[in-house]
Amino acid sequence: MRWGILTLTLLLLATIALAQSEQTGGKPFLKIRGNRLYLGDKPFHNVGANLPDLFERFLRGEDEKAIRSLKTAREVGIRVARCFGSTWGPELFPIFENDRERWLSAYDRMLAAADREGIYVIPSLLFNANMLPWHVQRNRRKDEHIVDFLTPGSLANDLAVTYVTTIVERYKNDPRILMWEIGNEYNLEADLSKQWKDRLANQIPTSDQIRAFLIQMATLIKRIDKNHPVTSGNSDMRSYAWHIRQARLKNRNAPDPLNYPMDWTKDSYEQYVEMLRFFNPPPLDVLSVHLYPPGRDHAAWLPQDDNRSLMLPWTRRAADRLKMPLLVGEFAQKVWESGKELEAHWVKDFLRQVREGAAPIALIWSWEFDEENPTQSPYTVSRERTPNLLRLLTETNRAIAGKR
């Protein structure tokens, strides 16, 4: 009898596994082995792209425009697209609360369209840390800001929990999602005192509050979803991140703990690694950074050089020390100006290093996005605007694919 029950149990588990495999087309989930990323038994390595408003296009019913961008991305070997996993601003978020079917239908269509092009998606679930507070101000008439959003029990934080739970629960068994990202560059909001800019206390998040929120959301995702890795979405560290945190900690028992002089001293490499560890705590799986030419904000141990990507090997070394695979969620420099494609020496050097294995996944900012916006336009890549860069991107991905 015991062997009969065991056999039936194994048959049931096999049936469930087969059903799940058929539902997802047999696609494997991204897995972490040591410091490397794998799909099935093969290492995963790709230069992908940010298609920031990909989900918003489907939500607005602009499916054809979104599908065209996915098709052109596939043509240069892009296999990963990072996008807003909700909406950037609060204008469209009421759809989630009032017409959940429309919202989830947009997600379904986005994933189906990306899958047809062989592209995996990284949704940045709560991309803009100010979006839900803005939504609460507009629609709930409560004056919440970013610190409230980071704090359990607030309206904005409760909405974050509801939203993340809804999306992750729906797609927890869907390998078209490559990994979950919590938000965008939250670490850059940390420890900027009233003396840097005078504002209310609930508009001044500390590094401790941001870290606690990342742990809260990562723990929530992991409780629901056993299949997908989770990353923070952080940028690289400010070159003085450790020092401004220490300045705040020295003042934490003062009558006004957020009113302190900023310490702009640049961090050492060991302090840089410490801050990467601090802002990427367990249960996060993948170390996230965003890398751009540094200008004057270069690391203390590096010269100022906007023609070579000097930071990338040091960040990779830090990721190896932290025993985490590295995701460069954004990399870019100005590639378009006055109607002409620019040389982009820093990007070329960055791609050379990624081709040689410096990062398993690196995502260019940005793909056919907001070309009329003067802030975004210099960074927007497309076949028409930046043909030389696209040729290099294609060659890089072909070389990477040839190594697998």
pLDDT of residue 10: 40
Report CA Rg, the chain.
22
Instruction: With H, G, I as helix, E, B as strand and everything else as coil, classify residue 122.
Output: strand
pLDDT of residue 26: 80
For 265, which DSSP code? P
The CATH number of the domain covering residues in 42-403: 3.20.20.80
Cα(384)–Cα(69) distance, integer angstroms: 13
Consecutive H or E run containing 43: strand 42-43
Q: Do 131 and 86 form a contact (C-beta atoms < 8 A)? A: yes
pLDDT of residue 25: 62
Q: Do 377 and 370 form a contact (C-beta atoms < 8 A)? A: yes
Give the model confidence (pLDDT) of 218-269 as tens digits: 999 999 999 999 999 999 999 999 999 999 999 999 999 999 999 999 999 9
Give the model confidence (pLDDT) of 366-379 as tens digits: 999 999 899 999 99
Its pTM surpasses 0.85: yes
Cα(15)–Cα(254) distance, integer angstroms: 62
pLDDT of residue 403: 75
CB-neighbour burial class of residue 156 (10 A; exposed 0-12, middle 13-18, buried 19+) = buried
Q: Which residues, including other chains, have CB under 8 Å from residue 401's CB and lie 6 or more apart?
A: 77
Cα(373)–Cα(360) distance, integer angstroms: 31
Where the chain has pLDDT below 70, the residues are 1-25, 404
Tokens representing residue 21 in the block? 């495999």
Taking each helix axis from N to C terminus, what angle separates 155-171 and 131-139, rounded to the nearest 10 degrees?
Answer: 120
